[in-house]
Structure 1
């Protein structure tokens, strides 16, 4: 059972991380960069002799505190945790090397009621350890499916981005690989839901699901290709809602509007997996 005050003030360990070019390249590979060997625009992200450039979505794994919700002291039913929403704000280009500090905190809890789950809002600030400069701020909404009814407040709830009427202006299909979750988890997101069939079954899934943040990475790739010309400094903000899981091996189709709105679906099942997306790019 969640203790509202205890979880709201739960001390998530600060993370100091020394980044190398290898980390930047691995992250890019883990979200599917480099699958087209003839696309030279991707080379700065996956080949150190051409960069490396850092995919801005890497902010979600830099300074990551790990699966801290699995700590029994949180009171969270960790098996039933699902990533609901993600927000990223880039204050400066992410460095390919050097030491960074990630500081994560719980910013809000919403009790949806007995049997209806709860929402946990958290925020991470990434700073340059040498200068103290703020590099990025990320925000997450985590759906605690097994933890409603603890007596917490029913709001406020962060509203979703509105979606445009009509057909998207651009459609991008990018494949995922059957073993992709095994690679992606080495970025520090080690929830066993994504690799262990037994854990996935206990959570109500027929097989392990792809990390939501890996899906975000694939979608960010599509957005960078179409709206940012693969420039690492172009993406300024991104937010989205995860609406359904992706299974490794499926193709993610990102549907993009020129005003920065987007959603994504898996081609094989025609199911929307990302909704209410919005990205802001510099000119």
Structure 2
């Protein structure tokens, strides 16, 4: 079996040193269409900081996992910040491990947790859920049911449309995610898509930046955590329709749809925790 859960779960963590500069942050901001005057990184930068990101492709390098990249999709992403703001330049040590392997019968889900710390202590923890089509059915633990968090029934507090560029994937690719699904027509077709799709982490970053600018006074240091489920894909050039609801004093619920395709869901079960 290409995925050996026992080996994956028992493997020693993958430890590596990363470094980033203020230019890396500027490149990331351009890749998510962020306004250029943010004095600190949009926190989702943590998911691409350094040469060992992003979580989807990194998970496939761990022991016990040998799968076809064309069968892999990013299922969900969460981020918890332990220090704010994120440094605009710095170095850190990352420790990544597979913490769960779920058998969804027709697919497997790998959960990879990455912790980053520098000499002053923890920086962030992120968790990527990697969906591998065709790799389930070995009789393993199905894992917890995917939480269904319906959008609030009240009208959203804010709705805004964020267009993506035709070359958005090429811009985001400069932050280190060179998965051919986002740039190669033949590979995208083999993966079952009519053309290359936008990086899920690009949509993730664009959405957080929109929440920060709209509801958090443009202050990225107010973000404490961010969780999203990738429910669908975005093609470069499409428009993201982002709906936001304030939920109590410290949480924002968000949904994102593809405005060009009748609001087909893109991000669901999405929350931003903030001060």
TM-score w.r.t. the length of structure 2 is 0.90
Deviation per residue, 1:81-125 (Å, 9 max, x gap): 000111111111210112122221111011011xx2111111111
Matched with 2:255 is: 263
Tell me, yes or no, if structure 1 residue 231 matches structure 2 residue 219. yes
Quick check: 1:145 aligned with 2:133? yes
Aligned to 2:111: 121
Q: Does 1:57 align with 2:44?
A: yes
**Structure ranking higher in strand proportion:** 2
Deviates more, 1:57-66 or 1:234-243: 57-66
Cα 1:70–1:135 change in 2 (3 A) is: closer
* Inter-CA distance 65–213: structure 2 relative to 1 (3 Å threshold): closer
Q: How far has the Cα of 1:136 moved from its partner? A: 0.9
Classify 1:158/1:122 alpha carbon distance in 2 versus 1 (closer, same or farther; 3 Å). farther
| Contact residue 14 and residue 65 of structure 1 kept, 8 A | no
Deviation at residue 9 of structure 1 after TM alignment: 3.1
Deviations 1:227-268 (Å, cap 9, x if unpaired)? 211112111111111111000111111100011111001111
Task: Give 1:78 shift.
Answer: 2.0
Q: How many residues align?
A: 264
**TM-score, reference length from structure 1:** 0.87
The gaps in structure 2 that reach 5 residues or longer are none
Q: Secondary structure at the match of 1:247?
A: coil
User: Retained in 1: the 8 A contact 2:101–2:109?
Assistant: yes
Paired residue secondary structure (1:224): helix
State how far apart, in whole Å, the 2-side matches of 1:223 and 1:249 are: 21
**CA deviations over 1:36-82 (Å, ceiling 9, x no partner):** xxxxxx3433xxxxx4x211111111243452344496122321100
CA-based RMSD: 1.8
Structure 1 stretch displaced more, 152-161 or 243-252: 152-161
Q: Which runs of 5+ in 1 are unaligned?
A: 34-41, 46-50
User: What stretches of structure 1 move > 6 A for 4+ residues in a row?
Assistant: none
Distance 2:13 2:134 in 1: 21
Q: Provide the rounded CA distance (Å) in 2 between the counterparts of 1:175 and 1:10.
A: 42
More off after superposition, 12-21 vs 79-88: 12-21
